[in-house]
Copies of this chain bind each other. A is one copy, B any other.
Amino acid sequence: MSWSSQEVRLAQRPLGYPDSETWEIADVEVGEPGPGEFVVNLELISLDPAMRGWLNDVRSYAPPVGIGEVMRAYGAGTIVASQHDHYAVGDVVSGTFGVREYAVSDGHDVTKLDLDVAPMATWLGALGMPGMTAYFGLEEVGRVQPGQTVLVSAAAGAVGSIVAQLAKAKGCRVIGVAGGPEKVAWLQEVGLDEVIDRKEGDLIRQVRRAAPDGVDFYFDNVGGEMLDAALANLAFGARIALCGAISAYNEEKLPEGPRRYMALLVFRATMQGFLVTDYKDRYDEAVAEISQLIAQDRIVATETILDGGVTTFPDALLGLFSGVNTGKLLLKV
């Protein structure tokens, strides 16, 4: 038996935003799995800011996607054929399967998903990489205490929404930053103490108003002007977790750095980069805590699921950078 599968390949490295030249769609036949392999029928593909970095031919924490290769993507689906001892037909799994309809895998870095705990989409969001990122950024870099003031950028996004709610659950005063009235309303409903609409501008003053005594922990997903606004409003001994810089990912040149970085000296503060995969051994701990908080209605896990199939991946990715999503952005295959 074989499965015909559409896939999205990297045709050309983009300068700035990816466009139609960046991608090519191909049709392939996926045959029966070899020994130690299985075939998964993908149902959901994850759209992640990090994807933009994988398109650049530069040294980073993950190697670039090669020209002509299937675009790297995290996703989830159901196994339709297996010659693997640990994975059986019908198992629901997640892994880095790429932007395609059917993938062959040897099981490396593949996770079985228990749909009794949460639906597949949540396993790619609050209980997947974004949730893990939120959890370890808060635990290991933030080390926040009850009563501290936490500022989260892209707070309606996949990672930010979990950071903000985990910090609330820890008894922090949480300020979220998001773009536009709908996301702001969603964050207010979720229970944040203050919500800033970045589209209203003057971020320094908006943060000052929301955090008159300064920010103890800033979880940075965006970089740029927002990072400077946080630096301008630090509390003594503040900590900044660098998780991403989505504002910069599509710039053709390396944008300016944070002008106000010397605030780190004035406030004896720390800015630290982290990467979720360093905490791989402890994902179970994070999944247990987040799923419990979801069950207790103390965390709202939400996803925005686009319904166009793999060939719409190029537009879906642009949607991520324009901020179409509340919560995790997924593409239905």
Contacts and interface: CB of A to CB of B under 8 A. Distances in A.
Interface of A: 59-61, 223, 228, 242-245, 248, 254-275, 278
A274 to B, nearest CB: 6
Contacts of A274: 265, 268
A273 B261 CA distance: 9
Contacts of A258: 257-258, 261
Q: Which 7 A-B pairs have the closest CB atoms?
A: A257-B257, A265-B273, A264-B273, A257-B258, A257-B259, A270-B272, A271-B271
A268 B275 contact: yes
Contacts of A269: 272-273
Nearest to A228: B257
Given A248-B262, A257-B257, A269-B272, 12 more contacts: A60-B266, A245-B262, A257-B258, A257-B259, A261-B261, A261-B271, A262-B273, A264-B272, A264-B273, A267-B273, A270-B272, A271-B272
Nearest to A262: B245
Contacts of A242: 261-262, 264-265
Contacts of A261: 242, 257-258, 261, 271
Given A255-B259, A260-B254, A266 B273 contact: yes
A147 to B, nearest CB: 23
12 contacts: A256-B256, A257-B257, A257-B260, A261-B261, A261-B271, A264-B272, A265-B274, A268-B273, A268-B274, A268-B275, A270-B270, A271-B272
A260 to B, nearest CB: 7
Contacts of A266: 59-61, 273
Nearest to A62: B266
Contacts of A244: 265
A275 B265 contact: yes
Given A245-B262, A254-B259, A255-B259, A278 B270 contact: no
B270 A271 contact: yes
A264 B255 contact: no
Contacts of A243: 265
Contacts of A255: 259
A173 B263 CA distance: 30
